Amino acid sequence: MATAEDVLRRFGPEKATVVDVARALGVSHAAVYRHVKTKAELRDLVVQRWVDETMPPLRAVVARPGPAPKRLRQLFDTLISIKRRRAAADPQLFSAYRLLSAGAQSIVAAHVDELVQLGAAIINSGVEEGTFRQVDPVAASRAVLFATFPFHHPAHATEWTNPKLDSVYDDIWRLLMEGLSVEKNFPVAKRKTRSNR
């Protein structure tokens, strides 16, 4: 998988082939085809690897104790940080991932479903602790996820360098939390920007 990522980084997802991966590994393409049947399968494996690397820190946020509103914000801050860090650290591979994920619909759908479930678990705990009003946790989580797409969805990566983006995120988050919160004046922590990290 590491070699496949390197090949995608060098040639791009349109030109990279299983033969290129075999050549980079120093083996015959038949040896690679014993593990990966098609180019599409290879692409799906790369996308799945990216998804698998994204999820552990997010699951950890859900598992930790603390008030639900704070953990929900931490969940999305972490998701945003992971995506932005990857885009900045390896732009060629991130660009390849963006293109590949468009063709890996079942993997992406499962990824989105898990993100919704993670958010729903926190929202449900907020309902139980009395910080969030009575809502359908899954529907509310899906709404929060989709409302925050510009800040973490790879399709918006070119916008992430906008210096005003964190302020917009804070404003949207405030509206979302006012809708969920049982309190009228809900305190909203600002996202840590590069200048105050």
**Neighbour-count burial of 90, counting CB atoms closer than 10 A to its CB (0-12 exposed, 13-18 middle, 19+ buried):** middle
CATH number, residue 71: 1.10.357.10
Confidence of residue 195 (pLDDT cuts 50, 70, 90): very low
Instruction: Give domain status of residue 197, yes or no.
Output: no
The string of pLDDT tens digits covering residues 84-132 is 998 898 887 787 777 777 777 888 899 999 999 999 999 999 999 999 9
List the CATH number of the domain containing 30. 1.10.10
Look at the chain and report how many structural domains it folds into. Answer: 2
Q: Are residues 139 and 69 in the same domain?
A: yes
At position 157, the amino acid (one-letter code) is A
> How many angstroms from the chain centroid is the CA of residue 119?
13
- Can you give the pTM of this predicted structure? 0.81
Residues 147 and 58 in one domain: yes
Query: What is the model's pLDDT at position 23?
Result: 85
pLDDT, tens only, 58-89: 999 999 999 999 999 999 999 999 999 988 98
Residue 170 lies in a domain: yes
- Residues 51 and 132 placed together within one structural domain of the fold: yes
**In terms of domains, do 153 and 107 share one?**
yes
Q: Are residues 90 and 140 in the same domain?
A: yes
What beta strand segments (E) does the chain contain? none
